Structures are given as structure tokens and as C-alpha cells.
Amino acid sequence: MKAHWLIGIVMAPGLFALPQDCNVYVYVENGVPMPVGMLLDAKAKTTQMFREIGINLRIRNGIPARDPSDVCTAPIVVEFENSTGYRGNPNALAFAAPFKESGTRIHVFLDRVLAHLNHELAFSNTLLAHVMAHEITHVLEQTDRHSDEGLMKTSWTPQDHARMKRRPLPFAPEDVELIHQALAKRVSPPAAE
């Protein structure tokens, strides 16, 4: 069973050829102090997670800018902040509103990421990369759905955390399909009537 699932993940990027090369641009705004190297490491890990499913993720610092020739989504902004004043789920590490055409802002609660595993700093970089990838996936899929396993689970268990330490949690095959379908729809010309 696992062999089939793994083959599906490897084959999925080839099944959804985009009509043009397109990049998904993510801009980060860091509003709170962060350990040295944490963001750089998390950005590299997040980019690699998407590369493995055939998505060209480009993470930049600062204000969103668009080059219409190679952009397939509205800009995504990731803002790092503390959870002070957040009235939603007390266990949430981040949230996004993935349904805005003009762009989307993802809010990552850095205080919760850092405190999540009793200040295990080396793992915090990996956890931050997973949180970013999870929220970016919601935006790309334009849905708040979750998967039963992998990166898009509603919440990660201690067993998931242990797996993250060895290698990134995988995207479920349905998430790979949904991301590629959504991006293909955005870059495809409308059908003639």
C-alpha cells in the first residue's frame, strides 16, 4: 500500500502540466524577534517541500511585487507575530483566509511555535517550515479542508513531530492533486464558448 502511495506522489507533478512556467510568490514580514537562522532554514525547508510536488515556490522578504509573466497566484504574505489578542483556537499555530483574489495574509504565531516543544530550538525551524507549508497549501487549494494524514492534518501528534525530525511530513495525494488543479485553472485561458 505504501509503495503505491509513494509512486502516486512521485508521479503527481507530471500529471498536471501547467500551461506555462509559473511561480508562487510568498513574501514574509517579520514583526517579532526570531532566533538567528530560523527563518532562513524554514524558508529553505518549505521551498523544498513544495519542490518535491512540482511547485515553484519563491519566498522573499518584504513587500509583495508581481511580475505578471511568471506569477500564477495573487501574492501570499506570511506575517510572523505573537498570539497576543488572538481570540481563535488557543492551540492554533497559524491561520489564513485562503479565499481572497487580491492576495492572502497568513498569520504565524511565532511565540506558539517556539513554545510548542518546550523550546527545542533545532526542531522549531522544522516545525515553522511545516506550519508555513500547511497554511500556504490552504491558500493554494483555496479551501480550509484537512487531510487524514501528513502535512494537512488538522493537528499533528507527537508521532508526527517525531517523523518531522527525520523528514518532512508528506502531502497527501489528494492535496497534491488539488494544488495542481487550482494552479492549472488559474493559468489556463478561459474556454471559448
Give the CATH number for residue 171: 3.40.390.10
User: pLDDT category, 19, cuts 50, 70, 90?
Assistant: very low
What burial letters (b/e) apply to 2-17, b meaning 16+ CB within 10 Å?
A: eeeeeeebeebbeebe
Within a domain: residue 81? yes
Within a domain: residue 4? no
Q: What are phi and psi of 68, to 5 degrees?
A: -55, -20
| pTM of the model as a whole | 0.83
Where residue 126 falls (left for φ over 0; alpha for ψ -120 to 50; beta otherwise) is alpha
- The proportion of the chain whose per-residue pLDDT surpasses 90, expressed as a percent, equals 50
Rounded Cα–Cα distance for residues 162 and 165 (Å): 5
Within a domain: residue 2? no
What is the structure's pLDDT at 2? 45
Residue, of 14 and 133, whose pLDDT is higher: 133
Q: Which domain holds residue 154?
A: 22-186
Residue 29, classified by CB atoms within 10 Å of its CB into exposed (0-12), middle (13-18) or buried (19+), is middle
User: pLDDT category, 188, cuts 50, 70, 90?
Assistant: low
Average pLDDT value for the chain: 81
Within a domain: residue 72? yes
| pLDDT tens-digit readout, 127-153 | 999 999 999 999 999 888 999 999 999
Total tally of structural domains belonging to the chain: 1
Within a domain: residue 3? no
Within a domain: residue 99? yes
Within a domain: residue 69? yes
| pLDDT tens-digit readout, 74-118 | 788 999 999 998 998 998 999 987 666 556 889 999 999 988 766
